[in-house]
Structure 1
Amino acid sequence: MEKENNSIVEVKKILNRVHTFMSLKVKGRLAQKSTDGLGKGCDQFCANVQGLYSACLEYLEKWMTPMEEFSSFMWMDLSETPDWNDVEACIKHLGEKGVPIDDAKCFDQVTNLKKFTERCNSDGEFNGLQAHQKWTKYFEKAKSIACYSELLKIAQFFFAVPSQNANVERLFSLMQASGPRKGTSCLLSH
């Protein structure tokens, strides 16, 4: 989830797949312990585990709430052939943000994108690529910028949105670990 180059859609899809899970091995041990007369302890353990899972899921849902603003961009991972209605919702969202997209041009460009994704999505290698890599392939295959100018605007906005702050956190950790060097000042201390 904290890959350096994940898009916000990829992170959102990962978070949506989080579910509670207890392995068969653990379930078997709990069943054995219950048979051994430790049913109350097993019930308490299960309640504690469920509480932990619930707290984690609640935390993730709070973390995901700001991502809902970008739901109209879910089609941009190109895992499926784009649907015009999804693209149109994205265009409306960008219009509200002051990013003008010519929907007539974009419609034609999406038609070309659909053909591209239909050809590529049968390719297992393409499906294994991250969203930015799929878009790079699309832009490289296009004949000219006129074939993707409006899609490029959408992609530029979309890929400028950071999907997480792990890289910044790592940088601050490294800065703190190394500390200020002799003859330099640390901007964080001012």
Structure 2
Amino acid sequence: MEKENNSIVEVKKILNRVHTFFLERYKSNNFMSLKVKGLLAQKRTDGLGKGCDQFCADVQGLYSACLEYLEKWMTPMEEFSSFMWMDLSETPDWNDVEACIKHLGEKGVPIDDAKCFDQVTNLKKFTERCNSDGEFNGLQAHQKWTKYFEKAKSIACYSELLMIAQFFFSVPSHNANVEGFLTDAKPVDQGKEPVVC
């Protein structure tokens, strides 16, 4: 998830999968492995029912805490839901692109929707051809877009899509690189002036 070049959509999709995993285990099925269930049954027959009940409550508490933590970090990402089509894992739908254009308009990024519609038509043809290619599907979102822009004949074929991509790929998907830099950074010696580059 913390790949340097992951887009926010790719991170959001990973978090959605993890969230679904926990929901399935916790809310839908109260999952516990058969081995653990067998051990609990044995402990109950040994008269340790109260401890088993506490263990089960702790497991449910863990699932609940994990879900709560994930949801806390996923909520701010909802702002970027209109960009989900930009990972090009499927052929883009105009309604999704239109929602994205509206979002950008609210942010002060004007996109010509008439031009964009024609450009999305070309993008659809490109993704329909490429999505049967396993190698293309294995690429990260920015690599797929690079291939599209390389194939386009002129900027008139992608000017509006380029503006959308420029905005989208400028949004950092996580702060792992910053945290890594801060972890690796050495503290400034209090007696010396810091060097400014």
Fold-level similarity (TM above 0.5)? yes
How far, CA to CA, are the matches of 1:40 and 1:175 in structure 2? Answer: 44
Deviation larger for 19-28 or 140-149: 19-28
The gaps in structure 1 that reach 5 residues or longer are 186-190
Q: Report deviation, 1:28.
A: 4.3
Identity in percent: 91
Does 1:85 find its partner at 2:100? no
The alignment partner of 2:18 has SS state of coil
Q: Report deviation, 1:142.
A: 1.1
Change in CA separation of 1:153 and 1:27 when aligned onto 2, cut-off 3 Å: farther
Cα deviation, 1:51-99, whole Å, max 9, x if unaligned, reads 1221121121111111111110000011110000000000000011110
The gaps in structure 2 that reach 5 residues or longer are 21-30
Change in CA separation of 1:3 and 1:98 when aligned onto 2, cut-off 3 Å: same
Cα deviation, 1:124-174, whole Å, max 9, x if unaligned, reads 1111111111111111111111111100000000000111111111xxx55
Q: Report deviation, 1:39.
A: 3.6
**Does the CA-based 8 Å contact 2:105-2:111 persist in structure 1?**
yes
Map of 1:110-149 to 2, 5 A cutoff? Answer: 110-149=120-159
**Does the CA-based 8 Å contact 2:112-2:160 persist in structure 1?**
yes
Deviation larger for 94-103 or 48-57: 48-57
Task: Compute the TM-score of the two structures, normalised by the length of structure 2.
Answer: 0.83
Cα deviation, 1:24-73, whole Å, max 9, x if unaligned, reads 54444434444554343233212112112211211211111111111100
Does 1:19 find its partner at 2:19? yes
How far, CA to CA, are the matches of 1:42 and 1:83 in structure 2? Answer: 51
How far, CA to CA, are the matches of 1:23 and 1:5 in structure 2? Answer: 36
The alignment partner of 1:100 has SS state of coil
How far, CA to CA, are the matches of 2:45 and 2:148 in structure 1? Answer: 60
Change in CA separation of 1:151 and 1:54 when aligned onto 2, cut-off 3 Å: same
How far, CA to CA, are the matches of 1:22 and 1:142 in structure 2? Answer: 52
Change in CA separation of 1:177 and 1:38 when aligned onto 2, cut-off 3 Å: farther
Aligned residues: 182
Deviation larger for 17-26 or 104-113: 17-26
Change in CA separation of 1:174 and 1:96 when aligned onto 2, cut-off 3 Å: closer
Query: What RMSD in Å do the two structures reach over aligned CA positions?
Result: 2.2
Change in CA separation of 1:10 and 1:25 when aligned onto 2, cut-off 3 Å: farther
